Amino acid sequence: MIQLDEIRSQNTESLNTFKSFLSTLSESDLAKPMPAGWTVSAVLCHLAFWDKRALTLLEKWQKAGIEFSAMDTDIVNEVTRSLCLSIPSQIAVDLFIQTGQAIDDLIGRLDPAWITEVLERGKNVHLNRAEHRLVHLEEIKAVLGK
């Protein structure tokens, strides 16, 4: 099983890598179409949504205990796409960075014993946020030819 320090390190590194990459993009880059009807900036909102969901569940679980939270990921992505597309690109960038920082900060402060419990019982909250970020970063780089 991956160690907590490794999760924290990967999360921080992925967010820093993404922020550095985003600083090189223009408005036209952010508006570039992606597969399945997304744009680069909409994918950033998508990432922010999933980070915010994880953040919200972790905060809830800290108060009320860990319980599985069912979700149909494909339906959620389909429903949120139009919302993500409506958000101006610079707001999408800011939302992605702020939400990513918030979830990374929370994970960084969590007690290791509680983290073990989350990993065992909170099966659909992934503490390694880097995995999702890096998949989409590679897709974005491919679309932009960078």
pTM tops 0.85 = yes
In order of their start, the domains of the chain are 4-144 (1.20.120.450)
Share of the chain above pLDDT 70, in %: 99
Q: What is the pLDDT of residues 94-125, one digit of tens each?
A: 999 999 999 999 999 998 888 888 888 877 88
Report which DSSP code applies to 39.
B
Average pLDDT of the residues in 7-30: 96
Q: What is the pLDDT of residues 20-44, one digit of tens each?
A: 999 999 999 999 999 999 999 999 9
Report which DSSP code applies to 33.
B
Q: What is the end-to-end Cα distance of the chain in Å, rounded?
A: 33
Number of CB atoms found within 10 A of residue 91's CB: 12
- pLDDT for 123 equals 78
> Residue 104: which of 14, 2, 39, 3 has the closest Cα?
14
- pLDDT for 14 equals 97
